[in-house]
Amino acid sequence: MKAIFFDIDGTIYHPEIGISQNTIDEIHRVQKLGHKCFIASGRPTGFISKEVKSIGFDGFVLANGAHIVTEGKTIDSLTLPYEETKKLIEYVESQGYEYILLTTDRCYLKKESPHMYEFYAWCNIDMDSLCNDYDLDEVLKKTIKLEIRYNKKEDSIGLIERLGAFFYEKHDDSLNVEVSNIDTSKGHGIETMLNYYGLDVDDSYCFGDGANDLEMFKTVGHPIAMKNAIPMIYHHASIICEDVLHDGVAKELKRLF
């Protein structure tokens, strides 16, 4: 039995075409051979679209490894440190930044978050998972990931100075930063999943294209980069397949299995 981990955006999903039927068919074929197919995404549960869920994956490494789900149950989760996160939110609110708090089951943001609502509507997520009526203190106790949208590029300097207690990813092409538990990574999540199923690293494969896939590529035995991947991912790949718009995942699954 092999374990195969798939990133979503830019790997199996593209906003122009969604998820191709060829990709879905190949995932099902590989599962029928006895292998396990997992999603490994920066998205939390609430951001996994119905389209992805309907495929029937064997499990999910979510929020960049902060939430691990298989066989219908959570086998591991890492929340943000409460006191440090509370102080961070106080700063974020004082600066007028938009933010969203992500837990293992819901996503919480204020109504007055126009940029975030616009962005998530574009991201093909289940908008029903967004909640704007909540008790901040209670949500902070179970938050596994925080996403912040600051106002202008120079704002990132003061914000990042306050992220020493966290693992974070700053996106140079946007005004967003993603904040997680300092021990969180897709690599951690994959190790947890492999241990759960008693599989060796050499029995693991992954497909990815972005910066948050780097730890995943360093963890699995057979990292596969999409042709549309960033250069950093290319350098850590053992295989480069076709891009997402040309059924790269489907073609490589057919070749490998």
The model's confidence at residue 223, banded by pLDDT at 50, 70 and 90, is very high
pLDDT of res. 15: 87
Q: What is the mean pLDDT of residues 142-154?
A: 94
pLDDT of res. 26: 98
Q: Which CATH number fits domain 82-181: 3.30.1240.10, 3.90.1150.10, 2.40.50.140, 3.40.50.200?
A: 3.30.1240.10
Query: Rounded CA gap, 102 and 106, in Å?
Result: 6
pLDDT of res. 194: 98
Q: What percent of the chain has pLDDT over 70?
A: 100
pLDDT of res. 93: 96
CATH architecture of 3-77+184-256: 3-Layer(aba) Sandwich (3.40)
SS3 for 144-162 is CEEEEECCCCCHHHHHHCC
Q: What is the mean pLDDT of residues 11-38?
A: 96
pLDDT of res. 166: 95
pLDDT at 142 over 90: yes
Pairing of strands 239-241, 222-226: parallel
Domain ranges in the chain?
A: 3-77+184-256, 82-181
Q: In this predicted model, what pLDDT tens digit does every residue of 238-247 receive, in sequence order?
A: 999 999 999 9
Q: What is the mean pLDDT of residues 36-47?
A: 92
pLDDT of res. 211: 86
- The reported pTM is 0.90
The model's confidence at residue 2, banded by pLDDT at 50, 70 and 90, is very high
Which tokens hold the place of 118?
A: 């616009």
Q: In this predicted model, what pLDDT tens digit does every residue of 89-137 receive, in sequence order?
A: 999 999 999 999 999 989 999 988 988 888 887 776 777 778 989 999 9
Q: In this predicted model, what pLDDT tens digit does every residue of 166-216 receive, in sequence order?
A: 989 887 778 999 999 999 989 999 999 999 999 999 999 999 998 889 999
E strand segments, 103-226: 107-109, 130-131, 145-149, 166-170, 176-181, 204-208, 222-226
pLDDT of res. 212: 83
Q: Which residues pair with 168 in a beta bridge?
A: 179
pLDDT, the chain, mean = 93
